[in-house]
Amino acid sequence: MDETPIKAGRKVKGKMKEAWFWPLYGDHDENSFTFSSSRAKAHIDKLQARTNYSEPRVKAFWQWCDQQLYRDDLEPTHPLRQAVGYALKREAENLGLVPGMQMDIGSPP
């Protein structure tokens, strides 16, 4: 983690506001760049709180998706089953579990 000062936005005509990019390196070799109007640690604390709040919900969502694949009442052509399959495929690609796959940001087939 490192804070990088930049000039962004317009304070007044001819003057830029001072702002900060916070490049962060994650546990899974991922990078993210957050933006803050101050250098205060409160920005990072807020990000950490958001991560702590959302991480269990995201994990629960992926577990729910896995469970839907084993439902007997959903045939392979059912829209929910297709959507869950699509989501799980994209998750695998984003995690690098499927070598050579390109990330498709278009709409599902």
CA-CA-CA-CA torsion sign (66, 91, 102, 106): positive
Task: Say which residues have a Cβ less than 8 Å from residue 35's Cβ, sequence separation at least 6.
Answer: 8, 19, 20, 21, 22
Dist. CA 21–CA 34, nearest whole Å: 6
State the pLDDT confidence band at 80, using cuts at 50, 70 and 90. very high
**In this model, does residue 95 exceed pLDDT 90?**
no
The overall pTM is greater than 0.75: no
Tell me: the pLDDT tens digits for 13-35? 777 777 777 777 777 677 777 77
Contact 37, 19 (CB under 8 A): yes
The amino acid at 33: F
Residue linked to tokens 């604390």: 45
Q: How confident is the model at residue 99 (pLDDT cuts 50, 70, 90)?
A: low
Whole-number CA gyration radius for the chain: 20
Tokens encoding 33: 């760049």
Domain ranges in the chain?
1-40, 55-96
* pLDDT of 79 higher than 80: yes
**Least-confidence region, from 50-54, 62-66, 75-79, 95-99:** 95-99
Which H or E run contains 82? Answer: helix 79-94
What is the overall mean pLDDT for the chain? 77
| Position with higher pLDDT, 43 vs 97 | 43
